[in-house]
Amino acid sequence: MASLTLFVGLDYHQSSVQVCAMDASGKVLVNRRCPNCRQTIVAVVHRFGNRVQAAIEACSGAAELADELVQHEGWSVDLAHPGYVARLKRSPDKTDFGDAQLLADLERVGYLPRVWLAPEPLRELRRLVRYRQQLAQQRRNVKLRIRALLRDLRLVVPAGRSPWTRSWFAWLQTTDVFAEQTRWIMDRHLAELKRLNSEVRDVEARLAIVVKDDAMVQTLMQTPGIGLITAVTLRAEIGRFDRFRSGKQLARFCGLSPRNASSGQRQADAGLIKAGNPQLRAVLMEAAHRLMRYEDRWVRLGHSLKSQGKANSLVVVAVANRWIRWLYHQMPSLDLAA
């Protein structure tokens, strides 16, 4: 029995995991709920065998459990794309019992829609990058509230004081045009903005320390127009370029490819596929703007597309798409610890 391969589906929840194990013929050996504990899950499955191929849907916490099972138990664990798994269900009903069995069956027949299980150092870097993104979004929201307050009061900024400059902040802090309650609110906004600016700088300093020996990040930063934030975002979200079969596949992962909306005689695109991480796509679009200023190759491409009457937004996407596909062939296979 121990020599037989077991196919295991794990339907993950924060407090529990539904565990379904089946043999190579598709016979369900066990399908039960367990506490969210590696040792308990292993004890349930190993009653039927020790050679395990498992599948678990990618979600918050699932990667940590999968990594534990791989590192400590020697299991082969695949992360499954939850959106594609949902489309493969045979029934509109949703139960943990059925979800775990479906995962086990897809793993058994080789139809599991897999996603990449990033190593722990990369997951740590990803958390740090996304934390900075959260702080930057909070800072953006505070700035929007400040501008909304000024617009609501119909205030005209004195000439020569550009928004977000030192002189502009000095005017906001000292002007007497605000009423008592408005001044109190504005002071809170300014204090919050100062705090967030400091936190963002602290995170960026920490990112610089974390990736100072990362060969991929350092290589990316040698490209004109590519700075620390762009480089670490690519490193954290893409991880390894060699895990993609082609540059085109990488571009689709980044959400930079057009979505095909063809049917019958109609052949059409429907904008970007927007299937990837929106922050990764935004960073690549910002990088494309800079590349069209600093790199001759991308400057020429941008001018060529604009001369054909393409809208500026389409030009930026096209440059970002071409650049990431070009980068796929240029970047070496570098590990995080390299």
Asked if residue 185 and residue 142 are part of one domain, the reply reads yes
Q: Return the pLDDT at 338.
A: 41
Which of 210, 235, 250 corresponds to the end of one domain? 210
Which of 54, 88, 115 corresponds to the end of one domain? 115
Displacement of CA 264 from its chain's centroid (Å)? 34
Asked if residue 132 and residue 106 are part of one domain, the reply reads no
Could you tell me the residue range of the domain that residue 137 belongs to?
120-210
Contacts 24+ apart (CB under 8 A), 194-202: 196/135, 196/138, 196/139, 196/142, 197/139, 199/135, 200/132, 200/135, 200/136, 200/139
According to DSSP, the β-strands at 269-272 and 258-260 are antiparallel
Asked if residue 319 and residue 229 are part of one domain, the reply reads yes
Whether 234 maps to a domain, the answer reads: yes
Asked if residue 70 and residue 18 are part of one domain, the reply reads yes
Residue carrying the six token digits 């995080």: 336
| pLDDT for residue 26 is more than 80 | yes
Pseudo-torsion of CA 44, 47, 53, 58, nearest 10°? Answer: 0
Whether 336 maps to a domain, the answer reads: no
Instruction: Band the pLDDT of 198: cuts 50, 70, 90.
Output: very high
Give the tokens for residue 124: 């740590």
> pLDDT averaged over the chain?
91
| pLDDT for residue 57 is more than 80 | yes
Overall number of domains in the chain: 3
Which of 183, 210, 237 corresponds to the end of one domain? 210
CB-CB contact of 304 with 225 (8 Å): no
Whether 277 maps to a domain, the answer reads: yes
Q: What is the pLDDT of residues 69-83, one digit of tens each?
A: 999 999 999 999 988
Angle, vertex CA 314, rays to CA 312 and CA 319, nearest 5? 95
Spatial distance between the Cα atoms of 260 and 267, rounded to a whole number of angstroms: 8
Average pLDDT over residues 94-111: 93
Whether 337 maps to a domain, the answer reads: no
Q: What is the pLDDT of residues 284-302, one digit of tens each?
A: 999 999 999 988 999 999 9
